[in-house]
Structure 1
Amino acid sequence: MNKKTCSVCLTEKDFEHFYKQVKRKKNGESYVYLRPDCKTCCKQKSTTWIKNNKVQFKKNLKRYKDKPELKEMQRKYNEKWRGSGGLRKWHINNKERLKIYSLKRNNKNHEITVDEWIACKNYFNYSCAYCGLSEKEHRIKFRQDLHKEHVKHNGANNLSNCVPACKTCNSSKQNSSLLRWYIEKEFFNFESLKKINQWLLHDYKQFIRNKNKGI
């Protein structure tokens, strides 16, 4: 008789309606373990927990996504997907979404001069303000210069909200707040955080004053 009673809804259902897992006894013998609650009740329980614990769920999901083996698996999948024409097909089938994204990105472009950008990179030793990857290493790894990063996602587009960032940090941070995102990173450095805040609060102004004086 391949039936089991759910511990939550108390309904008798076939084994296929329960999640299963292969486990091992102390003697090494393997066996199939069926959850006491059926798939439907399990999903409802999970949905309710996520709804009531959104912050913790996001932390758990982020911790899972940050696993090196998962990142490597995702990288290989993305390469295969792009190589098979998946990205091109997505662009063709999502033209409206791309237009909306493009408009948003245009509103997020920094309006700073070449000299201001050079001063900003020089202040951070031509390295990512977050992880410290140098621009030279960045060019070798990503074949591009460091990015102009909006520290505050919806903040100003001028020098008061701009630091150099590598492609990885720029993509990872997205619209997260600086402290909440940065403090969870393995490369978090208090001195780097202090330097970023010093630049955003005070030091960028010195360059603007000097520029206005023609220095």
Structure 2
Amino acid sequence: MAVSRSRTAVYARRRKRRMAQHTHDLSDEQWAALAAEWQGCAYCGASDRPLQRDCVQPISRGGRYTLANVVPACGSCNASKSNDEVTSWLRRKQLDERAFLLRHREIGVALALRFPAPDAASD
């Protein structure tokens, strides 16, 4: 069988390899709690659209799907951010960088207490 050499297929294979290199441990329960805490898109605040899982630190830059690295994002923000660094993307879009970072931290601390890391539970 011939391997597709289209740009899309090449990028899909690269992403699949990157995804396989790391453990992604975001459970469905954690995702539901994240979405409930944010009450909409973490970036623009839209609550009338379906939300997608967006990695604050993109997978292409070493991020992974974990409670501390994922935020809910509307499709528009998720596609626009792509694999950009979140703070520079927020500035370019003229969104409130400080408000996002503070809210991300607050929610992260609250959910870390609710869902302790497996290593911390054994201490």
Q: 1:194 to 1:158 in 2, by over 3 A?
A: same
Deviation of 1:192 (Å):
3.2
Structure 2, unaligned runs of 5 or more: none
The 8 Å contact of residues 119 and 207 in structure 1, kept in 2 or not, is answered as no
Which digits, 9 at most, give the CA deviation of each residue in 1:95-150, with x for residues without a partner? 3233322223434595421111101101101x00000011xx21xxxxxx311001
The 8 Å contact of residues 152 and 178 in structure 1, kept in 2 or not, is answered as yes
Counterpart for residue 36 of structure 2: 122
**Higher relative contact order by CA 8 Å / sep ≥ 6: 1 or 2?**
2
Q: 1:199 to 1:181 in 2, by over 3 A?
A: same
Q: 1:104 to 1:204 in 2, by over 3 A?
A: farther
Which amino acid in structure 2 is aligned with residue 194 of structure 1? L
Q: 1:180 to 1:113 in 2, by over 3 A?
A: same
Distance in 2 (CA, whole Å) between partners of 1:130 and 1:115 is 22
* Count of equivalent residues: 110
Distance in 2 (CA, whole Å) between partners of 1:150 and 1:189 is 16
Deviation of 1:206 (Å):
1.7
The 8 Å contact of residues 87 and 97 in structure 2, kept in 1 or not, is answered as no
Counterpart for residue 148 of structure 1: 53
The 8 Å contact of residues 152 and 161 in structure 1, kept in 2 or not, is answered as yes
SS state of the match for residue 183, structure 1? Answer: helix
Deviation of 1:166 (Å):
0.8
Deviation of 1:179 (Å):
1.4
The 8 Å contact of residues 55 and 70 in structure 2, kept in 1 or not, is answered as yes
Counterpart for residue 171 of structure 1: 79
Which digits, 9 at most, give the CA deviation of each residue in 1:6-49, with x for residues without a partner? xxxxxxxxxxxxxxxxxxxxxxxxxxxxxxxxxxxxxxxxxxxx
Which amino acid in structure 2 is aligned with residue 205 of structure 1? A
Counterpart for residue 104 of structure 2: 196
Counterpart for residue 65 of structure 2: 157
SS state of the match for residue 76, structure 2? Answer: helix
**More displaced stretch, 96-105 vs 159-168:** 96-105
Q: Tell me the percent identity.
A: 27
Distance in 2 (CA, whole Å) between partners of 1:148 and 1:179 is 18
Q: 1:128 to 1:104 in 2, by over 3 A?
A: farther
**What TM-score results when the alignment is normalised by the length of structure 2?**
0.71
Distance in 2 (CA, whole Å) between partners of 1:183 and 1:155 is 21
The 8 Å contact of residues 150 and 162 in structure 1, kept in 2 or not, is answered as yes
**What TM-score results when the alignment is normalised by the length of structure 1?**
0.44
Structure 1, unaligned runs of 5 or more: 1-94, 139-144
The 8 Å contact of residues 155 and 161 in structure 1, kept in 2 or not, is answered as yes
